[in-house]
Amino acid sequence: MAENIPAPTVPSKHAVVTGASSGIGAATVRKLRADGWHVVAVARRADRLEQLAKETGALAFAADVTSDDDVADLAAFVAERGGLDTLVNIAGGARGADPMATAVNDDWEWMFQVNVLGTMKMVRAFLPALRAHGHGTILNLTSSAALAPYEGGGGYNAAKFGQHALTGALRLEEAEHNIRVIEVVPGLVRTDEFALNRLGGDPDAAAKVYDGVAEPLVAEDVADVVGYAVSLPHHINLDQIVVRPVAQAANHKLIRKL
């Protein structure tokens, strides 16, 4: 008589979240863990990751998404722990607000590395596992900077336009593998680091970005949207979700009550 061996189970609600040391990435880890997900939290800053892991029960993995070696090590780490069904690419950011006439090479190169190439490297590394799973999800966090250019935003616009474009191409390429590809497109979000990092660490300049805006989005708002999108039944694909505060009717129209 044949031995009754149970079929292997396919992991579900197993996510990798990048950019997890602060802001939207950290809030997304908290949201998914609260909703019962298994999460591998990824970022460069190991100390912050360890603190988040203690708080939430997520697994921490320190890695730079622009490093081929780090990404390969991360993929092996995840595979050893049962794999994943969902990849959430939050890592990204902006540096500088200079017009094209005074564009800084290092700022532009960094933005392309982390927003575009970092996303590509993460997707490339995890596509085999997501295809094998049969019901994989990839969510890329872009920005409303990907939808409309603005003065002083050339480098960030270009990087986020690039990330937006690769997300669209990925959706077309991977539909036949039953991988849904979601793009979340935030507008103005007040976090501890985004504007500060963009504006060279100047706290006064960073604070002015949000001056007079009664209720800008916060990281937890965007994390709620991410959590909702990846938790829907798999046959539902939210191709693109633009999320802004009510005060931001468009990139160029922000209501400030000074």
Instruction: Please indicate whether residue 156 is annotated as part of the active site.
Output: yes
Span 12-64, pLDDT tens digits: 899 999 999 999 999 999 999 999 999 999 999 999 999 999 999 999 999 99
Q: Does domain 14-254 have CATH number 3.40.50.300?
A: no
Span 64-116, pLDDT tens digits: 999 999 999 999 999 999 999 999 999 999 999 999 999 999 999 999 999 99
Radius of gyration of the chain (CA): 19
pTM attached to this predicted model: 0.92
Q: Which residue ranges make up each domain of the chain?
A: 14-254
> Helices (H), strands (E): how many in the chain?
9, 11
Sheet holding 38-43, edge to edge: 59-62, 38-43, 14-17, 86-89, 137-141, 180-186, 240-243
Q: Which of 150, 156, 210, 228 is catalytic?
A: 156
